[in-house]
Amino acid sequence: MSSTGYALEANTRLNNEAATALAADFPILNSEVNGHRLTYLDSGATSQTPLQVLDAERDFYLKANSAVHRGAHTLAVDATDLFENARATVAAFVGADEDELVWTSNATEALNLVTYSLANASAGLGGEAARQFALKAGDEIVITEQEHHANLIPWQQLAAKTGATLRWIPLESDGTLDYAAAENIITERTRVLAFTHVSNVLGSITDVDLLVKLARKVGAFAVLDACQSVPHMPVDFHALDVDFAAFSGHKMLGPTGIGALYGKADLLAAMPPFLTGGSMITKVTMTEAEFMAPPTRFEAGTQRISQTVALAAAVRYLQHVGMENVHAWEQELGQHLAAGVEEIDGVRLLGPAAGKPRAGVAAVHVDGVHPHDVGQLLDMQGIAIRVGHHCAQPLHRALGVTASTRASGYIYNTTDDVDRFLTELAKVREYFRV
């Protein structure tokens, strides 16, 4: 639907020149902040959106705006086709079947969908098929100490509702997961194992195969937070063999307000719904209701139609670039970041050292300077980074800090962007006379 072409030929190897060319598709990157060229290094929070994606959402409203799965008129049919074609596009991108992808508002809602459905099953809803999800006192839910709050608090709530016990896999001194401890923590009592694919703070990459094998060994459900992996590397949920996975559109060149839950088809078919109301039912009386098959069962009410169309356009953009190219370039940026940070006196790199596997993100602790002050000083130079605990308070507590400063790159960033960040970061302690 987009009238805008691509800046590069398909599957072009990314380097500084190619990244600069891609940046032309993102008008916001040509702006100035505080009198300086914007250097955007906060894609771990929210990525920027290219013209191709903006055009796709605008074209939907211009040409096909209507409710889906309801009307029989032409616009309604066109809107429904775009909505379901978007599902097919995004599902294929993450290695899933169409009926295994549920639209949500974001990854947080997707993870809550799982926990609320399990809570409903634990309360006796969903019939015989849903009993496999029921939790009770004595059961255990295992997460990790590096989780984003979105993959922590919903499990805390589920444990409180059902009487199950929440346990977690601790971190090694370098911030990586203690896999030896995991083998002892994941036991026959474990019913759910939930973990992130890539840490949003540390950039560390989880050994998904190992944790899934541990879950399979004890018959536990494996739930993956894929927010920091789906936008940045090739991901195939079938190959990973996770039972559920969540990701968000706004971290992968798409709009806000759209995310997705992946679930194995047989599991979604057995799960009781989370939100209920219109569009997800087959028959309703004054005393009971029957629900549609997945994924529609989990999509109550008016859906995020234009956002799904835009997310599909974002996926096509990433496919045009090539996810292997995306991953390779971000690894280069991540190593450049990590190596540069390690050269700065008084600045501590959190997570894996330079040379170790890591994503294109680096969180740092500046001795004697609060992260908010670091962020404000860099913002004065037009450098946008993230400061705070990044929705991962337990992780920071485990590392002995209350907050950190995080730089995260994407396909439109260059090593020059990283160098600008490193140069200004090196001035921080002197500026504050530490």
Active site residues: 391
Paired strand residues for 248:
259
244 within 8 A of 221, measured Cβ to Cβ:
yes
Cα–Cα distances (Å) from 72 to 66, 75, 79, 227, 308, in that order, read 11, 8, 11, 36, 21
69 burial level (CB within 10 Å; 0-12, 13-18, 19+): middle
Question: Measured between alpha carbons, how far is 340 from 362 in angstroms, rounded to an integer?
Answer: 10
113 token code pair: 């969908």
Paired strand residues for 348:
365
137 within 8 A of 122, measured Cβ to Cβ:
no
Question: Measured between alpha carbons, how far is 18 from 415 in angstroms, rounded to an integer?
Answer: 12
145 within 8 A of 171, measured Cβ to Cβ:
yes
**Residue in 99, 101, 105, 129 with CA at minimum distance from that of residue 117:** 129
Cα–Cα distances (Å) from 35 to 38, 246, 382, 407, 428, in that order, read 9, 38, 7, 21, 19
